Amino acid sequence: MRLNVAILSTLALLAACNGENLGGDSERFEQWRQQGANKAEAAALQNYLSSQSVEEVIPIRQLLRSDTQWRKCDAEPYDVPPKTLWSNMVTTLQVIRDEVQPLIGPVEALSVYRNPIMNQCTKGATRSYHLQFLAIDMKPVKKVSRAELIEKLCALHASKGRALNIGLGIYSGTRFHIDTAGYRRWGHDHTASTSPCASFVAPQRKNR
C-alpha cells in the first residue's frame, strides 16, 4: 500500500506543485481503481447515486476525491465512504445541481469524504461533515471571479439557505464548501465572522 501511494505521489508531483492542480488525475484514478475492491465499491456507489438520479452532477472520479492534501498525509487520493453514509450525499448533490450550478456553471469537486485519519491530518473540524459524506469542497470549472462567486453564492444562501439547510464556506480564491447539514456560513478560518457573506448586500432591483 505504501509503495502504491509513493508511485501516485511521484506522478502527482511531476504533474503539479500546486496542491489544487489535479493534472494526471485520470491516470491516478485508474491506478487506484485497480487496487483491491476499489473498482467494485466505486461502481456500487455510482449505481446507488444513479438510482437517486444524481449520478451526473459530479463525476464519480471527482466525488471520490479525499482531499487535495492527500500527498502530505501519505494517504490515498480517493476513498469510498461506508455504505451507511451514501444516502447523506443525495441532498447535497441535489442542491448543487438545482441551485449552485445554474448560477456558476459546472463545478469540480476537490475534497469530499474524509475518513477520520485524513480529516485529522488536514486539520478538519472534529465534527466535519466531510466525515459524514455530507459536504463537498469545490471550485467552478468555468472562469468566475471571486467577487462574482461571492455575490452569487451569498445571494443564494440569503434567499434559500435556511429552507434548504445549506452550510456555505467560502475560502481563498474560488474554492468553496457546500453541505446540507444546517444553515450557517463561514470564511477562510472556518468562523462566521470571516464569511464574505457577513458584509454582503444583495443588489437592489430597479422598479419597473
**Residue 111 pLDDT greater than 60, yes or no:** yes
**Number of structural domains, the chain?**
1
Return the CATH number at 133. Answer: 3.30.1380.10
User: Per the domain annotation, does 146 fall within a domain?
Assistant: yes
User: Per the domain annotation, does 204 fall within a domain?
Assistant: no
**Residue 125 pLDDT greater than 90, yes or no:** no
Q: What is the mean pLDDT of residues 57-65?
A: 96
User: Per the domain annotation, does 114 fall within a domain?
Assistant: yes
Task: Band the pLDDT of 124: cuts 50, 70, 90.
Answer: confident
User: Per the domain annotation, does 74 fall within a domain?
Assistant: yes
Any idea which residue has 450550478 for its cell? 101
Which domain range does residue 119 map to? 2-199
- Predicted local distance difference test score (pLDDT) of residue 199: 81
User: Per the domain annotation, does 194 fall within a domain?
Assistant: yes
* Predicted TM-score of the model (pTM): 0.84
Strand partners, 56: none
